[in-house]
Structure 1
Amino acid sequence: MAVLKAIGVVVALIVVAVAWVSSWDDADTAKVGDCMKNNGNTINPDLQVVDCGTAEAKFKVKEVHSDTTDMSVCPANTTAYAESQHRRRGSDTKFVLCLTDVK
């Protein structure tokens, strides 16, 4: 019986870990030319990289600026998205994406 309980605990931990990792957005891995969709909203965006040939693609990454959250680095005809991620171990990650609408 103890073995079944241990297996249940391990399975539960795996499910929680997968849910946690899948909740991360893709913004920090986006590159110039990638297309993105917003699974969140304008107040709390959740950007995800998607195939540019799909209907999901709403934005295209025009520029990526590392080590800043200053959204004024983006040209006037783009949408600026800034993110700062604090990690316990390692350095913080800051970046700005300049996005254009996919037509």
Structure 2
Amino acid sequence: MTTPPPPQSQNPYAQGQPPQGGNPFAQGQPPQGYPQQPTAGYAPVPPAQPKRKITFKLVKNVVTVVVVAVAVIGGYIASRDDANTAAVGDCMHRGNSSSTNPDLEVVECSSSNAQYIVLAKVEGSFTSAAADSKCEEKAKDFQYSYTESGDGSDFLLCLKDYSK
């Protein structure tokens, strides 16, 4: 059994019939000089990934990390000039008038804040009387003794007034 050929369509742009007006683009053929679109191995471009939404949790975590980092850096900078970093010959400044915790910090000797000079530094824990006798032994012309303990390193500073 044979099938009859399909009927001719009335579409003037159908295969095999020239378009009206002779427009070569109407047949879907690019003009000469333009490359053909590849068909073999052509894969469509996947859609773009959706943008990550900024959530409250993400903002909270970023803020927490920044605050902790600032605190650590600030603590490090503040502790660089504490009394435990003092060495013989360093100048010191008294941060407050407390006799039990004077908050001594190392300053440049050329600074107007320089009040004391370190004559001796002795590692160990000392009572007030033992500190004075140890300073007399290490630096005869000392005027003040400063002891610190409990921060992991116990030490004694023998100080005298600094005059420029």
Range class of TM-score, shorter chain:
0.7 to 0.9
Q: Does 1:30 align with 2:95?
A: no
Larger Rg: 2
User: Relative to 1, partners in 2 of residues 1:34 and 1:77: Cα closer, same or farther, differing over 3 Å?
Assistant: closer
For residues 15-35 of structure 1, give each alpha carbon's deviation from its aligned partner in whole angstroms, at most 9, with x where no partner exists.
333444455461111111000
For residues 47-81 of structure 1, give each alpha carbon's deviation from its aligned partner in whole angstroms, at most 9, with x where no partner exists.
11111011110000001111232312113642000
8 Å contact from structure 2 (residues 142, 158) kept in 1: no
Structure 1: unaligned runs, 5 residues or longer: 87-91
Q: Which amino acid aligns with 2:131?
A: M
Using the aligned pairs only, state the percent identity: 33
What is the correspondence of 1:1-103 to structure 2 with a 5 Å cutoff?
1=55, 2-22=57-77, 24=79, 26-41=82-97, 42-69=99-126, 70-72=130-132, 73-75=134-136, 77-86=142-151, 92-103=152-163
TM-score by length of 1: 0.80
Q: CA RMSD in A?
A: 2.0
Structure 2: unaligned runs, 5 residues or longer: 1-54
Aligned pairs, number: 98
Deviation of the 1:39 alpha carbon: 1.1
TM-score by length of 2: 0.53
- The structure whose RCO (Cα within 8 Å, separation 6+) is larger is 1
Output the CA distance in 2 between the equivalents of 1:97 and 1:46: 13
Output the CA distance in 1 between the equivalents of 2:70 and 2:85: 24
